[in-house]
């Protein structure tokens, strides 16, 4: 891993503000709350906004809060900056002095940091010059369920948002870097369930049966050929079987089996192809072995894709904060899901990563009981959002009205399937 540029390690925030958001982050970390139960967290955010004199709406999609900063020109809509606020059902094992006090609940994905970053940005924006366009600060609940963003959208609070931006602390990149990528940033996340009905019987007389275990095993192997043989290797994708349940005894041939798994893709066309292939292969295996197979696919979050024009705005703001050497693109495909993708299906915007790795320090993965991040990341994130609010605002008020009214991201290159 390349080290972080030394020039970027200088904290971009004044000492008093930096220490304030660190304290806020540690308080949230000590009192994590699960998705849809973020009541105390929302109360702390509201109190911080009150201290800054920022107006807000509470109770959005449960425990969400949306604050608004006025701008010089509101005719073309607002700029939105989003942070997620929920925690995970994990028992913390970091040994931090501010470790979780809520047994079995932990901020193991950095959402305490994301919330603190956005409040830091709010402080900078309040203290700065008049904004070109209004700025909405979206503190979103329930990202970990994949349903929080949709719930916020359904309330209508982002109907007047013209551009939206977000970001995530990332353990793959050095402290003092901001990762801005054109195109795919996160994968879609769908699930499948396959029910196999065969014909049970005595383990010593297999010829009288349709063995659900054998059918399920062959189906698992066949499903693995979708990605390896049907999808262009340039398009990252995953089909993984997570559970296989069948059988009651060692000498009984099972008459039923159930498979469940996950489907990930970074391209919408590939995503659709994976769905169709799972259905096709299941039907073919059923016919081949005389079994009845029922396949159900549940769509989750879509892929998160940055339109290049929006990534360019994010990159400009990142340059301002960390310099050209501190701005990078993703080097490996991220197959994790992020419900910010629902916003980008409706509103142009971009999603970035905030590097947090310091050479020589052990790094634990997100959703791990030992996850933590370098708190200096908070300053870089806050300064980035503040710069982005101004840059995106200037861009927005300078856009022709017809361009602003087109709320969908620019069309991406059309692909003819996974080749």
Q: What span, in angstroms and rounded, lies between the C-alpha atoms of 33 and 62?
A: 13
363 falls in which pLDDT band (50, 70, 90)? confident
**Tens digit of each residue's pLDDT (9 = 90 or more) over 245-291:** 999 999 999 999 999 999 999 999 999 999 999 999 999 999 999 99
Q: Which domains does the chain have, with CATH numbers?
A: 6-185+303-405 (3.40.630.10), 190-298 (3.30.70.360)
- Residue 144 annotated among the catalytic residues of the structure: no
361 falls in which pLDDT band (50, 70, 90)? confident
Q: What span, in angstroms and rounded, lies between the C-alpha atoms of 208 and 73?
A: 77
- 267 backbone dihedrals φ, ψ, rounded to 5°: -125, 130
- 308 backbone dihedrals φ, ψ, rounded to 5°: -55, -40
Q: Are 257 and 212 in contact (CB under 8 A)?
A: yes
Write out the two tokens for 266.
């970074």
pTM score of the predicted model: 0.91
- Given 33, 112, 143, 338, which residue is catalytic? 143
Q: Which residue has the higher pLDDT, 141 or 363?
A: 141
Report percent pLDDT > 70 for the chain. 93
Q: Would you state the pLDDT for residue 9? A: 77
Q: Which residue has the higher pLDDT, 132 or 406?
A: 132
Q: Are strands 161-174 and 78-84 parallel, antiparallel or unpaired?
A: parallel
Asked whether the predicted pLDDT for residue 70 surpasses 80, the reply is: yes
- Residue 86 annotated among the catalytic residues of the structure: yes
Q: Are 285 and 210 in contact (CB under 8 A)?
A: no
- Given 38, 84, 86, 255, which residue is catalytic? 86
Q: Would you state the pLDDT for residue 399? A: 64
**Tens digit of each residue's pLDDT (9 = 90 or more) over 221-254:** 999 999 999 999 999 999 999 999 999 999 999 9
Question: How much is the average pLDDT of 179-194?
Answer: 97
């Amino acid at each position: 891993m390349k080290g972080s540029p030394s020039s970027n390690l200088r904290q971009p925030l004044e000492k008093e503000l930096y220490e304030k958001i660190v304290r806020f982050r540690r308080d949230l970390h000590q009192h994590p709350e699960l998705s849809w139960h973020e009541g105390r967290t929302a109360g702390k955010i509201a109190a911080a906004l009150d201290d800054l004199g920022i107006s807000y709406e509470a109770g959005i999609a449960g425990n969400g809060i949306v604050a608004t900063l006025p701008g010089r020109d509101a005719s073309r809509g607002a700029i939105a900056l989003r942070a997620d606020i929920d925690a995970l059902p994990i028992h913390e094992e970091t040994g931090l002095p501010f470790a979780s006090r809520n047994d079995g609940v932990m901020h193991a994905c950095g959402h305490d940091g994301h919330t603190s970053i956005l409040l830091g940005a709010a402080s900078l924006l309040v203290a700065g010059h008049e904004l070109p366009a209004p700025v909405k600060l979206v503190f979103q609940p329930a990202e970990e369920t994949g349903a929080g963003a949709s719930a916020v959208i359904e309330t209508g609070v982002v109907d007047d948002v013209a551009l939206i931006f977000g970001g995530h602390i990332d353990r793959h990149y050095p402290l003092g870097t901001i990762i801005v990528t054109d195109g795919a940033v996160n994968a879609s996340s769908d699930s499948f369930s396959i029910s196999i009905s065969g014909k049970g019987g005595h383990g010593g007389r297999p010829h009288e049966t349709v063995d659900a275990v054998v059918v399920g095993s062959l189906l698992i192997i066949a499903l693995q050929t979708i990605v390896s043989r049907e999808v262009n290797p340039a398009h990252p994708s995953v089909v993984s079987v997570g559970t296989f349940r069948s059988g009651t005894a060692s000498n009984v041939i099972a008459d039923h089996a159930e498979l469940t798994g996950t489907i990930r893709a970074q391209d919408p066309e590939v995503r659709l192809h994976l769905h169709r292939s799972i259905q096709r292969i299941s039907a073919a295996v059923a016919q081949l072995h005389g079994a009845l197979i029922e396949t159900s696919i549940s769509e989750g979050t879509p892929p998160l894709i940055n339109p290049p024009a929006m990534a360019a705005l994010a990159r400009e703001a990142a340059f301002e904060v960390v310099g050209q050497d501190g701005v990078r693109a993703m080097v490996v495909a991220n197959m994790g899901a992020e419900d910010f993708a629902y916003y980008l299906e409706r509103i142009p915007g971009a999603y970035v990563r905030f590097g947090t790795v310091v050479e020589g320090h052990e790094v634990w993965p997100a959703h791990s009981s030992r996850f933590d991040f370098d708190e200096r990341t908070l300053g870089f994130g806050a300064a980035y959002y503040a710069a982005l609010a101004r840059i995106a605002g200037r861009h927005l008020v300078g856009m022709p009205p017809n361009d602003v009214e087109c709320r969908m991201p620019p069309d991406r290159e059309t692909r003819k399937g996974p080749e």
